[in-house]
Amino acid sequence: MSENPLAPPRLRFPTDASELVDRIWPASATRTDDGMLAIGGVAADALVAQYGSPLYVVDERDVQSRAVRVRNAFTDAFSRIGTRAHVYYAAKAFWTTHVARWMADADLRLDVCTMGEIAVALAAGVDPALMGFHGNDKSDAELERAVSIGLGTVVLDSHEEIGRVARIAAEAGVVQRVRIRINSGVHASTHEFLATAREDQKFGIPLSEAVQAATAVRAEPSLAFVGLHSHIGSQIFDDSGFREAARRLMDVHATLVATGPVPELNLGGGWGIDYTEADSALAPEDVADALAAIVAEECASRGIPVPEIAVEPGRYIVGPPGVTLYRVGTIKPVTVETDEGTSATRTYVSVDGGMSDNVRPALYGADYTARLARTSDADPVLTRVVGKHCESGDVVVHDEYLPGDVQRDDLLAVAATGAYCWSLASNYNHVGRPPVVAVADGTARILVRGETVDDLLARDTGVAPVPDTGAAR
């Protein structure tokens, strides 16, 4: 067999279509003696037999070790320039009470952006003082809740929000710590929907208005200004954007230091992970070293103290440790005419999930890596893994070489689905969201139970109540 002309240039024709590339799959991913994919010491077929499919699987130890690695990388890099670094886990990537406790155990703080995310953290027993509260449209109710529980830092996203937070804090009789989110204008090299510092979008206060905003904050007795915040986007592979954003923020930081204390600087998160072999992710140590060098250089050139630094990773910590398991259904070879006027075959492999459990490919063309749970020596064929939903854009993996003997009832594993898959899951076509299972040391446990049809009907007020006959159910 040879490379299919329909395949994108990034996709390598495999010598082994069952290979698990380490940097894409969970740290514990391996194959059993009979060739079955195993994660955390638990075989994929055993997981599906117990919990069904689709199924989100999370390598618990991998998540924990990645959290510690990020913490150590930034602690070490910034201690070398004489300051401290605080790592906030971005809850939006993947959020349950178990995850909150894993982050707290790793000495990470928490970045939350809704009442619901705050509620999960509180249910997990996390100290509210360790939370940072983001959002471009926080309601008064959310802000009142944050202030009342003693939430650590509110990130102000607009001029209008300054007065609202000040009023709510004054009414509560407290002084609320706040940061100001700055739109640095840095155009990160990522998808338009993932770029968060371009001028024409909803987040932050323009760089040119930062001093004005800080002055307004400092004028409010109920607010304590602790520093600036920047986030340029996510799934970024080039550190030049992070470097430039840090430089721009340091310019404003230095100006503000001349008129009052600015103890902290939050440089955000957003570095990417490897979803495919074509990706080349930055190591957290490299990001930490680069940012520390810039902060040290900028502070030294201006003769100002080095502030404490905060960062907010999410995807790096929980993305690669996650895998989604599906059961294969319909298989449909389709003949397509190429640009050269010849024809080639792409095989559509349908699975029992889709955009309801992973909307990222439909939302912004995200690429993924897939493997059959079993091994196979069959020649690879170009496939497109698609879901069961009534949308032609319901694609799980746009392009992948799978063994040519893929068949109905095979189990298929999609790698690096730990971030922004469960978080963005929906009930489209009235499909229940899958369960989430954590695996570690040869055992599995439910983190979030899956939804049933009864769950979906439970909120439908048109459903007649079922008479209670007393019979066992």
Q: Which residues contact 74 (CB under 8 A, 6 or more apart)?
A: 85, 87, 284, 288, 309, 311
The string over 450-464, giving b where at least 16 C-beta atoms fall within 10 Å of a residue's C-beta and e elsewhere, is bbeeeeeeeeeeeee
Q: Single out the catalytic residue among 113, 299, 390, 421.
A: 390
Distance from C-alpha of 453 to C-alpha of 261, rounded to nearest angstrom = 56
Distance from C-alpha of 253 to C-alpha of 201, rounded to nearest angstrom = 23
- Three-state SS for 346? strand
Distance from C-alpha of 302 to C-alpha of 335, rounded to nearest angstrom = 64
Torsion angle, CA of 127/132/133/134, rounded to 10 degrees?
-160
Distance from C-alpha of 306 to C-alpha of 81, rounded to nearest angstrom = 8
Residue 182 CA: distances (Å) to CA of 9, 58, 134, 155, 178: 37, 34, 12, 10, 13
Distance from C-alpha of 92 to C-alpha of 110, rounded to nearest angstrom = 10
Single-letter code of the amino acid located at 266: N
**Residue whose entry in the numeric block shows the structure tokens 């008129």:** 259
Annotation says 390 is catalytic: yes
| Contact assessment for residue 400 and residue 7, using Cβ atoms and an 8 Å cutoff | no
Q: What angle do CA 422, 74, 250 make, to 5 degrees?
A: 100
| Contact assessment for residue 423 and residue 114, using Cβ atoms and an 8 Å cutoff | no
Single-letter code of the amino acid located at 314: G
Strands 308-311 and 264-266: parallel
With helix as H, strand as E and coil as C, how does 88-148 read? EEEHHHCCCHHHHHHHHHCCCEEEECCHHHHHHHHHCCCCHHHEEECCCCCCHHHHHHHHH
**Residue whose entry in the numeric block shows the structure tokens 């075959």:** 345
Closest C-alpha among 39, 25, 33 to residue 442 = 39
Which positions are annotated as active-site residues?
A: 390
